[in-house]
Amino acid sequence: MPSLIHVENLSKDYRLIRKREGVGGGLVDLVRPRHRILRAVDNVSFDIAAGEMVGYIGANGAGKSTTIKMLTGILTPTAGEVSVGGLVPWRDRLQYTRHIGVVFGQRTQLWWDLAVVESFRLLRKIYEVPEAVYAEQMAVFDKLLGIGEFLHQPVRKLSLGQRMRCDLAAALLHRPRILFLDEPTIGLDVVAKESVREFLREIRDLQGVTVILTTHDLNDIEQLCRRVIIIDKGKVHFDGLLEDLRLRLGRRVRLTVDLREDRTREAMQTTTEGLPVNWQPAEGRHHVAEFRRAEISGAEVIKLVVNACPVSDLHLAEPDIEEIVRDIYRAAGKEHA
């Protein structure tokens, strides 16, 4: 498959100043700062083809954002190379940024005090979007995101969900080939999250945009990405299809049970005797079991528990990204050992 984004041995070091204590120390720092080198991204390589939608995931501080910032040309790497369609992001910045759209979930790209439509008009001018394309894009955004309703409100008066919809539209106004999304659903409620995902699916099918997405929400990945790249401590730990990842890990699920009377852990363990279900050490009315979906279904476990104990409440939860990353990391550790 032809590669649109080529990343090879990419690394980024940050030089952190280790501050000395006190006023005297502050003065010494001025003259002779002590540095500590932190390698945020360590020898990362991958290729992404046009039209792919890739989830780039990892725990906090794993190096996700740093990678995205190098791919978008914000940061200059310490070592390694990036070539996107023949352009080097940080070197060919003025050319390159015409082809990409970027959304940072944490902060808006729009002008805070202006009506949304004013931001779009300025962006149209900056990216030299032809009038016809502009009208077409705005029609699409109104249809898919319903931004027409609040086009004339100042950005500062929008809700987070409305703002995110506007940010997505702003990032796509100039029909970029590549869209970078850094935590696009952070802080949104379930409905707003769903509408953002729906939009991303539609826009991918409609305009064939290549998407790289970082997120904390595993549902984002499941619903949008076939391929995931997992990064931890700056290194790539997994790069492949989501199905393969699931197969490799089995999917760990956690069942929380609240009872109407006390039970020991052993008693709970006997309810699922002989099955690959692991009850965590606990006494009393609250118990937690872990199992893998690949080995046993949730319904089966629930049926056994409900039949054997007086259950007052049940809760089945998927592991979050942090846990998956930890699993991957542990698995990698074992392989090396």
Partner 1 sequence: MAANDTLPRGKTRSGWSLFIWQIGIYTAYFAQFVKSRLAYRMDFLIDTLAISVSIVIQMAVLTTLFSKVKALDGWSFPEVLFIYGFSLVPLGLFNLISVNLYRFSDQYIIQGKMDRVLLRPVGTLTQVLCESFNISGLNEILLGSGVMIYAARELGLQPGVGHILGLVILAPGAALVYAGVFLAITSVTFWYEDRMGLAPPVYNMIRFSRYPITIYSLPVRVFLTFVLPFAWVAFYPATWFLGSPGFARAALLTPVVGLIVFGGAVMIWRRGISRYASTGS
Q: Which residues bind partner 1 (CB under 8 A)?
A: 2-6, 14, 47, 49-50, 65, 69, 72-76, 83-87, 90, 93-100, 102, 104, 106-107, 109, 111, 113-114, 118, 122, 125-127, 154, 177
Tell me the DSSP string of 152-221: TSBGGGS-HHHHHHHHHHHHHTT--SEEEEESTTTT--HHHHHHHHHHHHHHHHHH--EEEEE-S-HHHH
Minimum gap (Å) between residue 89 Cβ and partner 1: 10
| Residue 175 DSSP class | -
The whole-angstrom separation of Cα 228 and Cα 231 is 10
* 258 token code pair: 């609240």
Q: At closest approach, how far in Å is the CB of 76 from partner 1?
A: 5
Name beta bridge partners: 55.
213, 228
Q: Say if strands 311-317 and 277-279 run parallel, antiparallel, or are unpaired.
A: unpaired
Q: How far is it, in rounded angstroms, from Cα 268 to Cα 288?
A: 9
In the complex, the smallest distance separating the C-beta of residue 276 from partner 1, rounded to whole angstroms, is 39
Closest distance of CB 154 from partner 1, Å = 6
Closer residue to partner 1 in complex, CB, 141/180: 180
DSSP codes joined into one string, 275-335: SSEEEPS--EEEEEEEEETTTS-HHHHHHHHHHHS-EEEEEEE---HHHHHHHHHHHHHHH
Considering beta carbons, is residue 3 or 264 the nearer one to partner 1? Answer: 3
| Residue with smaller CB distance to partner 1, 61 or 146 | 61
Shortest Cβ 23–partner 1 spacing (Å): 17
| Amino acid type, 19 | K
Q: Measured from the CB of residue 95, what is the shortest distance to partner 1 in angstroms?
A: 6
Our CB check for partner 1 shows the closer of 129 and 257 to be 129
DSSP, collapsed to helix, strand or coil, labels residue 159 as: coil
**Comparison of 2 and 281: residue with beta carbon closer to partner 1:** 2
Q: Which residues pair with 92 in a beta bridge?
A: none
Cβ proximity to partner 1: between 112 and 336 the closer is 112
Q: State which residue, 86 or 310, has the beta carbon closest to partner 1.
A: 86
Provide the 3-class DSSP secondary structure of residue 214.
strand
Least separation in angstroms between CB 28 and partner 1? 15
